Structure 1
Amino acid sequence: MSGSRGMSGDRDTDRYRTLTRRMLVLGGLKVGLLSTLAGRLYYLQVLQSQKYTMLAEENRISLRLIAPSRGPIVDRFGVPLAVNQQNYRVVVTAERTKSMPETLDKIAQIVPLTDADRRRVMRELHRKRRFVPVTVRENLTWEQVATIEMNIPDLPGASIDVGEIRYYPFGEATAHILGYVGAVSESELNGDPVLSLPGFRIGKSGLEKHHEKSLRGTAGTSQLEVNAVGRVIRELSRDEGQPGREVQLTIDIGLQQFAQQRLSKEQSAACVVMDVHTGAIYALASHPSYDPNQFTMGISAELWEDLLSNPTTPLSNKAVAGQYPPGSTFKMVTALAALESGIVNKSFSVFCPGHYDFGDHRFHCWKKGGHGTVDMVGALRHSCDTFFYEVSRRIGIDRISEMGKRLGMGQPSGLDLPHERPGVMPSTEWKKATIGKSWAQGETLIASIGQGYVLATPLQLATMSCRLANGGHAVKPHLTKQIKGGPHETTVWPSIGVKKDHLDVIIRGMTEVVNAPNGTAFKARITEAGFEMAGKTGSAQVRRISMAERNTGVKKNEDLPWRERDHALFVAFAPVHAPRYAIGVIVEHGGGGSTAAAPIARDILLECQKRDPGRSAVADVTPGAPDGPRG
């Protein structure tokens, strides 16, 4: 018995020892696990606390961009030309309505909705979360907003939102200068996150496009507290960012409206009014025009097709992109080139029998019976073609081309407006490089009177007039006076390198064109004392006149279809005694420059001078002072 108890005690002792070891092992494992857990918690909560706090905040806080307010555009006197207006829009939140089609039907009873509007809304609903509002219609009237607000209980999910929309107070009068804004296309995305904002718009043409960076401003930010699914709970902070900068132009909106209205009496026309000393553009008009406000919200396909198919091309800015044979307005270039060459002097004269024979070709003067003997001033006064045929034969095309370039022809001026075209100022080298053929002498005669290959824009014609009237300084046209907060520059224009006495001959000829009784533009002269202008008429053929027609009598423009009539041109400056303003006018298929273009230039130059506050007689008239330093 005692032996049995001894053996039993030993077994109990062994079991106890085994159990103790197991407990120690398990205890050690527990301690180890607890230590690891404590270490991990210490690592996460102490050592990595900043990192995970930031991650948690990022999950809770959403940072969103706020579109900046676009900078205004004003005229030289601060009159707003492009501004931002409140844009009331009706939006619908999908999660707050049981049936989106029913809600849209009810909204359509207040605000007209097209099938395209409905398709767009349904398309956006499938791309966005149900709690994100979708725009149904923008640019609502105050009456529409009030009606929707009154009927909100019957419009589940609908609400009114307020944003900004670009507005052009003077519409068609400034369309070709300002351009318009539109939605950002995929090709215009450049990594700037503000361009991806819903409804964000950028400059698509005109100065809106040219000054896009200055006008756009800097986006703001909004910190929003959101829940796990992204729903906004509250706004924590807000930074409005920086609005776009104000752009001030050289344009006088009163003169601009007057010019646009004056051109509207023609089927298609354009003009440019410049300061002869600074190059500031006071008016730049192209008719017909369009309403840029229609583009702001997205133009309809029907209206877009109408604009594109219009034969008078209302979308084209003819003042800077229309290239036309300058006709006889180019004769000052030929005359000045001849004087500067030394081959011809101011006393040189030519007998005009009504034609000029060169080789086996006969070149006709516009006056069938001829002008008799004329000198340079007389040739300009009468616009005698024969005189310039002879002069150009003596000096050659290259001298004419070089002078044309000095006066601003055949090259872009660098105007701060997109889509300016360079025109064409031909030379022997130009024809060889462009057409691959040698220059023919007969082409020189045609070019000398602004026909053939010669092409110019109304802007270039106005620039040429400036450089002739200001004593031969190479002013360049510009539309921007200054950008708020930017540098203010003063430009000193270089000389084009011509002699004053040669310019005096040209100025005298232009003065007699308008003010001499037998001048080609005498009937279109300014009769008010102190306001007189000097100028040059021009007509550019757009069809070939056959010899048979010449023998039987050239058809009058009024007897021809509109498309076959001559272009009418006129260039001028005023006042004659102290030149300050220059103008270039084109009336497409208008016939004669003396009857169609010259009266337009007269009316606009007279209005321009009367708007000058420097004249005490018109001190009570809305001002249109010279620009001063370029900015």
Structure 2
Amino acid sequence: MKKSQREIIDSTRQITRRGLMLAGIQIATVTTLALKMRSMQLDHAEEYRTLADGNSIKIRLLPPSRGLILDRNGIIIAGNEQNYRVTLTREEAGGDVEPVLRRLSYLIPTTEDRIAELVDEFSRRSAITPIVLADRLSWEQFSAIAVNAPSLPGVTPESALSRAYPRAGDFAHVMGYVGPVSDYDLSRIEDPDPVLRLPDFQLGKIGVEGRLETVLRGKAGARRVEVNSAGREMRQLSRQQGEQGATVQLTLDAALQNYAAQRMGSESAAAVVMDCQTGDLVSICSSPSFDPNKFVRGISSPEYRALMDHDHRPLADKTVQGVYPPGSTFKMVTLMAGLESGVIDAGTNFYCPGYTTLGNRRFHCWSRGGHGSVNAIKSLEESCDVYFYELAQRVGIDRIAIMARKLGLGVRHDLPMSAVAEGIAPDRAWKQARYGESWQVGDSLNASIGQGYVLASPLQLAVMTARIASGRAIAPQLIRSIDGVRQPVPEAAVLDISESSLRVARLGMDAVMNSARGTARRARILREDWRMAGKTGTSQVRNITVAERARGVISNDQLPWARRDHALFVAYAPYDAPKYAVSLVVEHGGGGSAVAAPVARDILLFALNGGVPPLDAVPSDQRDAMEERHQAMQLYTPEAPRPGRSRA
């Protein structure tokens, strides 16, 4: 049917309107796209450029150099050494690392077991986490890997720094060591620094390294690198170096520390030397020691087992972790408690027949025949146990405990070392809380001579001695400065102990060393300007039965090592102007006067002399042995001080 003219006109109009609508829609669409493109290119260009860079540019963290640790004279005792290593990132290797590892094994000999171990480790780690395949490479190995890098996708040869301890075992217990960051380490940190996730980043584990980790760690640097679509690094775009950790200077003297370690030899022992005026610890040494470098580089299982199984416990820091019955070195505490309470004065006498009877039990003096009539000074000079048994019954344990804490015993001292022990200065409340039992008079008698429940560390005994010598509440210090900024040391308060009581204790300690009947006379210092005051101690580690006492107490040299008495000694010098205090404990060493006193004297002499003790400072019959001993030692001669960085 043929359309009319009008129908044709209406149809044409409808087509025209539709065309206009479509054209309008097209124009609007094109305009919107153009505006969007303009916005993307001009208004949001930086945002999209950054997103695009994220696909081709990687930010890699650069581990900072760990801060140095120096002795008081600027000698490096913990530093860093160059370490060539190689890492592999699974993502950049295309996901399958085993072919790369096998190609790499032609350049670095690698066992099948090691390859399997690495493959397993890569399967458990994030694909973007680099893993160290080998470190401490030779320059030749490092160069060969760098030359063959194009055929080793994901492999990166790196030059890094690793911790090193040039003085090895001398400072092992104080310094501690660093090691790879473990999952346990990360779990203990609320917001871990990203640098801790770098491959084999070294974290302080124990000792000063652990306690000052955040100070020594520094801040990471970064580098921007361009990578291709396979993730392979093409070029470095920029590099920002990290900030080295702070340089920490300790109060310790490297030469004295080395001498103390060698003088103690193979004994299971601990020595502490403390400045009587400032509290600076100039030596704090535990023996035997270990090489912390082995823990940094990866100690073998047999080596670690040997350290763990050794009966002298080389991994334990006996200076602050070890607590021992202080024996007769505690007698100054009991004496001053009696003097301060007014129970006795310097002239008060007690008679010693060789024992004290309490109920149906005898408490024996070390001198089986007794000491006769004994006053305060003579009680220390000859170390009469009966004098202190009698005094303890009159003064009471609570007053003794108060005096002990005034002198630094039973107190945890704040030092950046691991597991600093509090020790025990027991009183009635302590026993009730600890054992649910009442304090007995017999407990007081044992405590009065440093036995029973009383426990103290060599550090605490050094603090006690320094406080007696100075009359001030000297606190131990280990950190001298950080980045050249001297650490503030609060002025020590005057002890709440009368000068007259302190004087009696000092006179008694002087008599121990210098009187004809002094228990440590053979270990005296002859030079009057270095005159030494001290106190010996011998603490039992076993019970002596009535039957054994009746037939004669077995001497230490006839007992197995672990059943022998501990030998202790404390001293300070010079007597009139105290400079240094020393404490020494020799585990299962036997008698304090015979074993501990000569060693402690020599260490104290080294500190006073600033070097090897002069022969004329000791009795003439001991000089040949001292000279022979020094000739056999390999003493450390410090290098010239090396300047550290300062932010002051």
Q: Which amino acid aligns with 1:434?
A: R
Cα distance, 1:21 vs structure 2? 4.1
The 3-state SS of whatever aligns with 2:530 is coil
Aligned counterpart for 2:170 among listed residues 173, 185, 188: 173
Rounded Cα–Cα distance in structure 2 between residues aligned with 1:477 and 1:362: 40
Q: Does 2:478 align with 1:482?
A: no
Amino acid at match of 1:332: M
Question: What secondary structure is seen at the aligned counterpart in 2 of 1:324?
Answer: coil
Distance 1:336 1:10 in 2: 131
Instruction: Decide which moves more: 11-20 or 215-224.
Output: 11-20
Amino acid corresponding to residue 232 of structure 2 in structure 1: R
**Does 2:570 match 1:574?**
no
Q: Does 1:122 find its partner at 2:123?
A: no
In 2 relative to 1, CA 377–40 (structure 1 residues): closer, same or farther, beyond 3 Å? same
Structure 1 residue 269 corresponds to structure 2 residue 263: no
| Aligned pairs, number | 609
Is the contact made by 1:415 and 1:478 (CA closer than 8 Å) also made in structure 2? yes
| 2:79 pairs with 1:80 | no
CA distance in 2, matches of 1:52, 1:487: 50
| 1:3-53 deviation line (CA, Å, top 9, x unaligned) | x9x978777656655554443343333323323333433443344444323
Note the residue ranges of structure 2 that are not aligned, 5 or more in a row.
618-636, 641-647
Match of 1:210 in 2: 211
Q: Look up the equivalent residue of 1:216 and give its one-letter code.
A: R
TM-score for both structures, normalised by structure 1: 0.89
Q: In structure 2, how many angstroms separate the alpha carbons of the residues matched to 1:89 and 1:20? A: 76
Whole-Å separation in 1 of the counterparts to 2:30 and 2:469: 97
- Report what 1:627 is aligned to: none
Q: Distance in 2 between matches of 1:182 and 1:97?
A: 26
1:162 counterpart SS class: strand
Q: 1:128 to 1:311 in 2, by over 3 A?
A: closer
Distance 1:114 1:525 in 2: 62
Which deviations, in whole Å up to 9, do the C-alpha atoms of 1:134-156 show, x marking residues without a partner?
5322123xxx3325646987996
Counterpart in the other structure of 1:299? 299
**2:592 match:** 593
Change (3 A) 1:270 1:131: closer
Assess, with a 3 A threshold, how the Cα gap between structure 1 residues 130 and 335 changes in structure 2: closer, same or farther: closer
Which whole-Å CA distance do the structure 2 matches of 1:45 and 1:108 have between them?
A: 50
Q: Which stretch of the first structure deviates more once superposed, 418-427 or 302-311?
A: 302-311
Q: Kindly provide the CA deviation profile for residues 431-490 of structure 1, in whole angstroms up to 9, marking residues without a partner as x.
A: 1111111111111111100000000000010000000111x1000111110111546424
Residue of structure 2 equivalent to 1:397: 397
Higher deviation after alignment, 63-72 or 540-549: 63-72
In 2, are the aligned partners of 1:611 and 1:622 still within 8 Å (CA)? no
Question: How big is the alpha-carbon RMSD for the aligned residues of Structure 1 and Structure 2?
Answer: 3.0
| Change over 3 Å in CA distance of 1:419–1:115 after alignment to 2 | farther
- Higher radius of gyration, 1 or 2: 1
Give me the whole-angstrom Cα distance separating, in 1, the residues matched to 2:476 and 2:520: 26
The answer to whether structure 1 residue 383 and structure 2 residue 377 are counterparts is no
| C-alpha distance after superposition, 1:73-117 (max 9, x if no partner) | 0000100010011111245685799944644543455xxx56664
Confirm or deny: 8 A CA contact 2:97 2:119 kept in the other structure.
no
Provide the C-alpha distance between the structure 1 equivalents of 2:116 and 2:303, rounded to a whole number of angstroms: 20
Report if aligned partners of 2:226, 2:236 keep a CA contact under 8 Å in 1.
yes
Partner of 2:140: 146
Q: Indicate if the aligned counterparts of 2:266 and 2:288 stay in contact, CA closer than 8 A.
A: no
1:254 corresponds in structure 2 to 255
Show the counterpart of 1:628: none
Match of 1:188 among 182, 185, 190: 185
Structure 2 equivalent of residue 56 of structure 1: 52
Q: Which amino acid aligns with 1:207?
A: V
Contact 2:423–2:457 (Cα < 8 Å) also in 1: yes
SS of 1:320's equivalent?
Answer: coil
Worse-superposed segment, 186-195 or 548-557 = 186-195
Query: Take 2:107 and 2:128, find their aligned partners in 1: how far apart are those partners?
Result: 19
Are 2:158 and 1:161 equivalent residues in the alignment?
yes
Q: Name the SS for the 2:531 alignment partner.
A: coil
The separation in 2 between residues aligned to 1:315 and 1:569, in whole angstroms, is: 21
Distance 2:447 2:128 in 1: 69
The residue aligned with 1:283 is 283
Is contact 1:149-1:159 (8 Å) kept?
no
In the alignment, is the contact (CA less than 8 A) between 1:533 and 1:573 conserved in 2? yes
Q: 1:388 to 1:42 in 2, by over 3 A?
A: same
AA of the residue aligned to 2:227:
V
Alignment of 1:486-497 (within 5 A): 486=485, 488-497=487-496
1:295-334 map, 5 Å = 295-334=295-334
| Residue of structure 1 in register with 2:336 after alignment | 336
SS at match of 2:238: strand
* More displaced 10-residue stretch of structure 1: 484-493 or 236-245: 484-493
User: What amino acid does structure 1 have at the position aligned with 2:520?
Assistant: A
Report the secondary structure of 1:165's partner residue.
strand
Residue 445 of structure 1 corresponds to which residue in structure 2? 445
Counterpart amino acid of 2:177?
Y
Does the C-alpha gap of structure 1 residues 162 and 622 become closer, same or farther in structure 2, counting only changes over 3 Å? Answer: closer
Q: Structure 1 residues 15, 147: CA separation in 2 closer, same or farther (over 3 Å shift)?
A: closer
Q: Offset at 1:254?
A: 0.2
Q: Name structure 1 gaps, 5 residues minimum.
A: 625-630
TM-score (norm 2): 0.87
Cα distance in 2, alignment partners of residues 238 and 623 from structure 1: 35
Cα pair 1:510 1:535 within 8 Å, conserved: yes
**Shift in Å, 1:278:** 0.8
CA distance in 1, matches of 2:513, 2:262: 24
Deviation track 1:293-347 (CA, whole Å, cap 9, x = no partner) reads: 1111332333223222222221110000101000000001011111111110100
Amino acid at match of 2:34: A
Higher mean C-alpha displacement, 529-538 vs 32-41? 32-41
Kept in 2, the 8 Å contact 1:611–1:623? The answer is no
In 2, Cα distance between equivalents of 1:601 and 1:465 = 13
How far does residue 529 in structure 1 lie from its aligned partner after superposition? 4.2
Retained in 2: the 8 A contact 1:63–1:221? yes
Conserved in 1, the CA contact under 8 Å of 2:131 and 2:199?
Answer: no
Q: Which moved more, 1:486-495 or 1:308-317?
A: 486-495
- SS of the residue corresponding to residue 529 of structure 2 reads coil
**Is the aligned partner of 1:417 residue 2:433?**
no
Counterpart position of 2:198: 197
Is the contact made by 2:132 and 2:199 (CA closer than 8 Å) also made in structure 1?
no
Secondary structure at the counterpart of residue 249 of structure 2: strand
Select between 301-310 and 417-426 the one with higher mean Cα deviation.
Answer: 301-310
Shift of 1:68: 1.2
CA shift, 1:512, in A, is 1.2
* Aligned-partner residue type, residue 297 of structure 1: R
CA distance in 2, matches of 1:126, 1:425: 54
- SS across alignment from 1:139: coil
Distance 1:71 1:119 in 2: 36
Stretch moving more, 232-241 or 87-96: 87-96
Q: 1:610 to 1:69 in 2, by over 3 A?
A: same
In the other structure, the counterpart of 2:630 is: none
CA change 1:576–1:196 in 2 (3 A) is same
Equivalent-residue separation in structure 2 for 1:516 and 1:10 (angstroms) = 144
Superposition map of 1:220-235 within 5 A: 220-235=221-236
Q: Could you report, residue by residue, the CA deviation over 1:359-403 in whole angstroms, capped at 9, with x for unpaired residues? A: 221110001111111111111111110111111111111111110
Of 486-495 and 177-186, the range deviating more from structure 2: 486-495
| Separation (CA, whole Å) in 2 of partners of 1:390 and 1:255 | 41
Shift of 1:241: 2.6
Q: 2:529 matched to 1:530?
A: yes
Task: Summarize deviations over 1:197-253 as a string: whole Å, max 9, x none.
Answer: 222111100001111111111112222233445433322222213111100000000
Aligned partners of 1:508 and 1:62: how far apart in 2? Answer: 73
Residue 70 of structure 1 is matched in structure 2 by 66
Q: Quick check: 1:354 aligned with 2:350?
A: no
